[in-house]
Structure 1
Amino acid sequence: HTNFEFVSVEPVVVMECISNLNNTNGFDVYGLNSKMIKSVALAIVFPLTHLINESMTLGIFPSIMKVAEVIPLFKKGKLDDISNSRPISKLPVFSKIFEKIIKLQINEFFESNNLFTNRQFGFRHKKSTNDALLGFTESILDSFDVGDYS
């Protein structure tokens, strides 16, 4: 196996990551949301691509993207009982784009080097819970075929 190395990303990939952001009405710590970023995507895609490539080449994740706002998210029950809430972190929209780029490259590296086990279904392209259930069912049936009932 070779070592993972970041490959310079092209603007078209960054644009695709921007387009695939979930449309949210909430704002990040800088007052931005995905809808705003999508509306100016053509104007920012080239400088953002340059920033991503420089950051990855230097091995530095910009400090401004490490800031999160932690807020309580109500689950159920009485509103005035804090135990009925869980904390969530509102991350900067731009850090989510970085994350998507990194995930794409790491997944590609793992796939091309056969580093995933056959039982890894989560976070993989064209893999789902249905695949996991099918594999589990086949494993049970194979056990029955050889008389292993434990």
Structure 2
Amino acid sequence: TELNSSTPRSIAFWSRAKKCMKSASSSLHGFMLNDGTVIKDGPKMCEEACKHYEEFFSESEIFRPHPYTDSPDLQWENFDEEIPLCTTEEVIDIVNSRKKKKSIDAHGLSNFTFNFLPLSYWSLLVEIFNHSFSEGTMPDRWKDSRMLLLAKKDPICNPGLTRPISLLDVFLKVNEKLFQTRFMNIVNRRGLLPDTQSGFRPKFRLQTRVLLFFEHISSLMANSSPVGAIFVDFRSAFDQLWFRGCIGKLKRMGIPRKYLIWIENWLMNRRAFIAIKGERSKWFRIRKGGPQGSIFTPLLFITYHSDLTETLNCCLSHHFTDDLAAIMGGGIGLEILLHANSTAD
């Protein structure tokens, strides 16, 4: 706990370091199609982007039977545990803590709207949130999203080289925050996340994990031991989440039934449109992946992959948010270094 707590010196260091880090994304100016054609017209860009992402978010082809969905059910002692209901005070605290940004969702609302809602409205929304927890449902309109695209590198690029950002319904984001707190409590009580996982969880800071990573390498090298490291980047990590497999795996991990019902309804029957240069595409369905702009998606992702360390017993593993670094020393480390050198040659 002490390792992961902030100090004035660490805050000062990382605030200075952040100024030296360049943004990985840039604004999007146009699309270059496969035949070399460049289009900068808003409606045509929306049409091309919609075709790409409608296919990208189509349901994955999974070979069945699969252990996540077709294995015999396990009955845990907490299977019938209810989701704790929320209070008006809890909701107001979450609303007040949110930045009052003016970026709008699919229905033209923003967090800035919260400044003009009377308290009586939040009492009604508390009833909707609690109904969502007790029945595992939510309004269909809450699952609509407005999708913006950022260029990963060049401002004129293929639609496949863009990064989608989902602007979610403002009321769903409050509901997500309420659920995230309750889900994190379940995850912590069951001890599902390994200590090597940093990012997207309180008291496990990413900066501390980076320092421990270098410390492990230094200690191995101090003993004149060959050291090899493998870095894994999950491609489109959040966007590849398999809905049925996620629910099946969480069930086997001991997540209560009411939580599973809520997550399943939150994932299913989502749709989005793409907005570019003031224009918008048609609606399209999202059949895989968690919303990029969601506060709950990262926690769901790291819980879904929390057993990854069980397959890495031969190395020291470090999980940085949705990336992985594995350190191997001695004979295994030497073998990796030799293989890397031969590949480079």
Q: TM-score range by the shorter chain?
A: 0.7 to 0.9
| 1:48 partnered with 2:107 | no
Tell me how far 1:39 sits from its aligned partner.
3.5
Amino acid at match of 1:24: K
Q: What amino acid is the match of 1:46? A: S
Residue in 2 that maps onto 1:109: 186
| Aligned match of 1:59 | 136
Which whole-Å CA distance do the structure 2 matches of 1:69 and 1:134 have between them? 38
Unmatched segments (≥5 aa) in structure 1: none
SS in 1 for 2:166: strand
| 1:131 is aligned to 2:208 | yes
> Match of 2:197, SS?
coil
Check 1:143–1:44 CA distance in 2 against 1; reply closer, same or farther (3 A cut).
Answer: farther
1:53-92 matches, cutoff 5 A: 53-73=130-150, 77-78=154-155, 83=159, 85-92=162-169
The structure, 1 or 2, with the larger RCO (C-alpha pairs under 8 Å, 6+ apart) is 2
Distance 1:149 1:30, change over 3 A: same
Q: Which has the higher strand share?
A: 2
Identity of paired residues, percent?
Answer: 23
Instruction: Measure, in 2, the Cα distance between the counterparts of 1:78 and 1:112.
Output: 46
Contact 1:70 1:89 in 2 (8 A): yes
Partner of 1:21 in structure 2?
98
TM score, norm. by length of structure 2: 0.38
- Distance in 1 between residues matched to 2:197 and 2:155, nearest whole Å: 39
Q: CA deviation at 1:147?
A: 5.7
Q: For 1:59 and 1:131, how far apart are their aligned partners in 2?
A: 37
Deviation at 1:119, TM superposition (A): 0.8
1:138 positional shift:
3.6
How far residue 57 of structure 1 moved from its aligned partner, in angstroms, is: 0.5
Between Structure 1 and Structure 2, whose CA radius of gyration is higher? Answer: 2
Instruction: Give 2:338's aligned residue.
Output: none
Unaligned runs of 5+ in 2: 1-76, 228-345
User: Using the alignment, how far apart are the partners of 1:128 and 1:108 within structure 2?
Assistant: 18
Residue 83 of structure 2 corresponds to residue 9 of structure 1: no
Q: 2:111 aligns with which of 3, 26, 34?
A: 34
Aligned residue pairs, count:
149
CA-based RMSD? 2.7
Cα distance change of structure 1 residues 77 and 121 upon mapping to structure 2, 3 Å threshold = closer
Alpha-carbon distance in structure 1 between the residues aligned to 2:226 and 2:196? 21
In structure 2, the residue corresponding to 1:68 is in which secondary structure? strand
Partner Cα separation in structure 2 for residue 12 and residue 127 of structure 1: 28
Using a 3 Å threshold, how does the CA distance of structure 1 residues 110 and 145 change in structure 2: closer, same or farther? farther
CA shift digits 1:98-134 (9 cap, x unpaired)? 1111111111221233222011111111322112113
- The Cα offsets for residues 58-87 of structure 1, whole Å up to 9 and x where unpaired, read as 0112212111122434566456x5647543
C-alpha distance in structure 2 between counterparts of 1:119 and 1:109, whole Å: 19
The alpha-carbon distance between structure 1 residues 131 and 38, as it changes in their structure 2 partners (threshold 3 A), is: farther
Mapped to 2, the partners of 1:11 and 1:61 lie a distance apart of 18
